[in-house]
Amino acid sequence: MTVRIATWNINSVTARLPKLLEWLESAKPDVLCLQELKCAADAFPYEEVRALGYETEAHGNGRWNGVAIVSRLGFQDVVRDLPEQPGYLADDALVPVIEPRAIAATCGPVRVWSVYVPNGREVGHAHFRYKLDWLATLRESVLADAAGERPFAVLGDFNVAPTDEDVYDLADFEGATHVTPVERAALAALREAGLADVMPRPLKYDRPYTYWDYRQLAFPKNRGMRIDLVYGNAAFEAAVTDSYVDREARKGKGTSDHTPVVVDLNL
């Protein structure tokens, strides 16, 4: 059985709906993890996606976050939010807010989490501490699935570039988030929990970035970052036959500033 699984920070599913439907028709993933929906769960375009043969489980509140899983393999054991997920206490808030940043489901033979890791904003900011706490909770949340024999992966926008090679110029990120040792240590902790970084293979570009800013011609100049990742357990990694970054989906007008990462499995 061949299964195609993908992840994509869509940067507003409403604004990118034509792009999403076009990509589903052309790439034909069996499971697609989406992040940054920017819509409430009840406002997700379920019917448009269903017309292409997919069902959706969405988790969003209409703000800038939100996650979903789109599947034509069905759904079982859907979970919204990480167990004991930390909340973010904004400067003007009295209580922490649990943001919709994680959703999990078993789709056919594979279990997946779609995650949208907090950005962190600035080193030393309360949001940066929140990001590290969130990643630590993610690690604890996936331990059981990572150790199992069922193919399992955490896919999404991690807002961390794992290595220096995953940013176009490290000097431009000096003192900034996404590249700090403590953030990278959080990803290393995920790997130590039994998950491997499934890199695009074979490398069709010297640096397979997944995100390019809209400003300053970042995409034409390939000034990007690899922050959309697939972390799979041993059973998942062993089944991988191909993986790639779909740069074509980033081209043209009206696109997300991220592009899909696709993994093919033979199960």
157, 166, 197, 228: the active-site residue: 157
Q: Which pLDDT belongs to residue 202?
A: 67
Q: Which pLDDT belongs to residue 92?
A: 74
Burial of 131 by CB count in 10 Å (0-12 exposed, 13-18 middle, 19+ buried)? buried
Q: Which pLDDT belongs to residue 204?
A: 65
Is 176 part of a structural domain of the chain? yes
Q: Which residues contact 51 (CB under 8 A, 6 or more apart)?
A: none
Q: Which pLDDT belongs to residue 57?
A: 98
Range of the domain at 100: 76-257
Enter the tokens of residue 77.
Answer: 């054991």
Is 117 part of a structural domain of the chain? yes
In this structure, the number of other CB atoms found within 10 A of the CB of residue 109 comes to 14
pTM of the predicted protein model: 0.96
54, 88, 116, 211: the active-site residue: 116
Is 97 part of a structural domain of the chain? yes
Q: Is 183 annotated as a binding residue?
A: no
Does the active-site annotation cover 157? yes
Q: Which residues contact 172 (CB under 8 A, 6 or more apart)?
A: none
CA-based nearest residue to 163, from 130, 187, 131: 187
Q: Is 165 annotated as a binding residue?
A: no
Is 171 part of a structural domain of the chain? yes
**Cβ 32 vs Cβ 58: under 8 Å:** no
Q: Distance from first CA to last CA of the chain, Å, rounded? A: 5
Q: Is 172 annotated as a binding residue?
A: no
CA distance 184 to 120: 13
Provide the β-strand partners of residue 115.
102, 156
Q: Which residue has the tokens 């929140």?
A: 130
In this structure, the number of other CB atoms found within 10 A of the CB of residue 201 comes to 13
Enter the tokens of residue 212.
Answer: 């390019």
Is 195 part of a structural domain of the chain? yes
Q: What CATH number has the domain bearing residue 194?
A: 3.60.10.10
CA distance 262 to 2: 13
Is 213 part of a structural domain of the chain? yes
> pLDDT tens digits, residue range 154-182?
999 999 999 999 999 999 998 899 999 99
Q: Which pLDDT belongs to residue 207?
A: 75
Looking at the structure of the chain, the number of domains it has is 1
Enter the tokens of residue 49.
Answer: 């996606």
Task: List, run by run, the mean pLDDT of 10-residue segments along the chain (267 residues).
Answer: 97 98 98 98 98 98 94 98 92 84 98 97 94 98 96 98 95 93 97 94 76 95 96 98 95 96 97
Q: Is 36 annotated as a binding residue?
A: yes
Does the active-site annotation cover 125? no
Is 183 part of a structural domain of the chain? yes
Does the active-site annotation cover 178? no
CA-based nearest residue to 104, from 131, 72, 132, 138: 138
Is 18 part of a structural domain of the chain? no
SS3 (DSSP) at 171:
helix
Provide the β-strand partners of residue 31.
5, 71
